[in-house]
Amino acid sequence: MGQNIVQKVISSHLVSGNMNAGEEIAIRIDQTLTQDATGTMAYLQFEAMGIPKVKTELSVSYVDHNTLQTGFENADDHRFLQTIAAKHGVYFSKPGNGICHQVHLERFGIPGKTMLGSDSHTPTGGGIGMIAIGAGGLDVAVAMGGGPFYLNMPKVVLVRLKGKLKPWVSAKDIILELLRRLTVKGGVGKMFEYGGEGVKTLSVPERATITNMGAELGATTSIFPSDDATKVFMTAQGRAKQWKRLEADKDAPYDEVIDIDLSRLVPLVAQPHSPDKVAEIKAIEGLKINQAAIGSCTNSSYKDMTTVSKILKGRKVHPDVSLVISPGSKQVLNMISKSGALSDMLTAGARILETACGPCIGMGQAPSSAAVSVRTYNRNFEGRSGTPDAGVYLLSPETAAFSAIKGVITDPRKIGKPVKVMMPKKFIIDDSMVIPPSRHPDNVEVVRGPNIKPLPRKEPLADTMTGSVILKVGDNITTDHIMPAGAKILPLRSNIPAIAEHVFERVDPEFAKRAKANNGGFIIGGSNYGQGSSREHAALAPMYLGIKAVITKSFARIHYANLVNFGIIPLVFSSESDYDLVSQGDTIEIQGIKAQIRDGNTIHARTGSGKELVLRHSLTPRQVDIIIAGGLLNYTVKNNA
Q: Within 13 Å of residue 446, how many CA atoms lie on the same side as its CB?
A: 19
Q: Are strands 547-552 and 521-524 parallel, antiparallel or unpaired?
A: parallel
**Is 65 noted as a catalytic residue in this protein?**
yes
Question: Are residues 291 and 367 in contact, defined by beta-carbon separation less than 8 angstroms?
Answer: yes
Q: Which stretch binds ligand SF4 (CB under 6 A): 1-9, 52-60, 169-177, 357-365?
A: 357-365
The torsion angles phi and psi of 531, rounded to 5 degrees, stand at -65, 160
Catalytic residue among 30, 36, 59, 65: 65
| Shortest Å distance, C-beta 587 to ligand SF4 | 38
Whichever of 173 and 216 has its CB closer to ligand MIC, that residue is 216
Catalytic residue among 226, 301, 533, 554: 533
| Binding partner of residue 170 among ligand MIC, ligand SF4, none, CB cut-off 5 to 8 Å per kind | none
**Is 64 noted as a catalytic residue in this protein?**
yes
**Is 598 noted as a catalytic residue in this protein?**
no
Q: Residue type at 217? A: L
CA distances from 223 to 173, 237, 603 (A): 17, 20, 38
Q: Residue type at 286? A: G
Question: Are residues 55 and 144 in contact, defined by beta-carbon separation less than 8 angstroms?
Answer: yes
Question: Are residues 298 and 372 in contact, defined by beta-carbon separation less than 8 angstroms?
Answer: no
| Shortest Å distance, C-beta 319 to ligand MIC | 31
CA distance 376 to 295: 6
User: CB neighbours (10 Å) of residue 473?
Assistant: 18
Tell me the β-bridge partners of 434.
93
Whichever of 51 and 100 has its CB closer to ligand MIC, that residue is 100
x/- map, 13-52, ligand SF4, by CB under 6 A: ----------------------------------------
Q: Does 297 bind ligand SF4 (CB under 6 A)?
A: yes
Residues of this chain, 369-388, that bind ligand SF4 according to CB under 6 A: 378
**Is 514 noted as a catalytic residue in this protein?**
no
Q: Does 296 bind ligand SF4 (CB under 6 A)?
A: yes
**Is 119 noted as a catalytic residue in this protein?**
yes
Q: Does 538 bind ligand SF4 (CB under 6 A)?
A: no
| Binding partner of residue 345 among ligand MIC, ligand SF4, none, CB cut-off 5 to 8 Å per kind | none
CA distance 227 to 238: 16
Residues of this chain, 114-143, that bind ligand SF4 according to CB under 6 A: 119, 121
Question: Are residues 387 and 369 in contact, defined by beta-carbon separation less than 8 angstroms?
Answer: yes
| Shortest Å distance, C-beta 121 to ligand MIC | 5
CA distance 278 to 401: 19
Residues of this chain, 451-510, that bind ligand MIC according to CB under 6 A: 485
Residue 378: which of 92, 178, 638 has the closest Cα?
178
Residues of this chain, 109-128, that bind ligand MIC according to CB under 6 A: 119-121
Q: Does 534 bind ligand MIC (CB under 6 A)?
A: yes
Catalytic residue among 88, 379, 481, 493: 379
Q: Which stretch binds ligand SF4 (CB under 6 A): 141-149, 353-361, 392-400, 606-614?
A: 353-361
CA distance 392 to 469: 32
x/- map, 341-380, ligand MIC, by CB under 6 A: --------------------x-------------------
CA distances from 586 to 467, 472, 493, 521 (A): 8, 10, 31, 10
Q: Does 304 bind ligand SF4 (CB under 6 A)?
A: no
Pick one of 31, 38, 212, 220: the residue that binds ligand MIC (CB under 6 A): 38
> CA triplet 529, 532, 534: central angle to 5 degrees?
100
| Shortest Å distance, C-beta 485 to ligand MIC | 6
Q: Does 329 bind ligand SF4 (CB under 6 A)?
A: no
Tell me the β-bridge partners of 356.
none
Q: Does 535 bind ligand MIC (CB under 6 A)?
A: yes
Pick one of 360, 404, 550, 593: the residue that binds ligand SF4 (CB under 6 A): 360
CA distance 426 to 9: 29
Q: Is 416 left (phi over 0), alpha (psi -120 to 50) or beta?
A: left
User: CB neighbours (10 Å) of residue 622?
Assistant: 15
CA distance 130 to 214: 14
Q: Which stretch binds ligand MIC (CB under 6 A): 248-256, 390-398, 526-534, 540-548?
A: 526-534
Q: Does 153 bind ligand SF4 (CB under 6 A)?
A: no
Q: Within 13 Å of residue 244, how many CA atoms lie on the same side as its CB?
A: 9
CA distance 104 to 204: 13
Q: Does 221 bind ligand MIC (CB under 6 A)?
A: no
| Binding partner of residue 296 among ligand SF4, ligand MIC, none, CB cut-off 5 to 8 Å per kind | ligand SF4
Residue 412: which of 403, 422, 421 has the closest Cα?
403
Whichever of 300 and 495 has its CB closer to ligand SF4, that residue is 300
Name the site residues for ligand SF4 (rule: CB under 6 A): 65, 99, 119, 121, 296-297, 357, 360-361, 378
Name the site residues for ligand MIC (rule: CB under 6 A): 37-38, 65, 119-121, 134, 361, 485, 532-535
Q: Any idea which residues carry the catalytic annotation?
A: 64-65, 119, 379, 533, 535
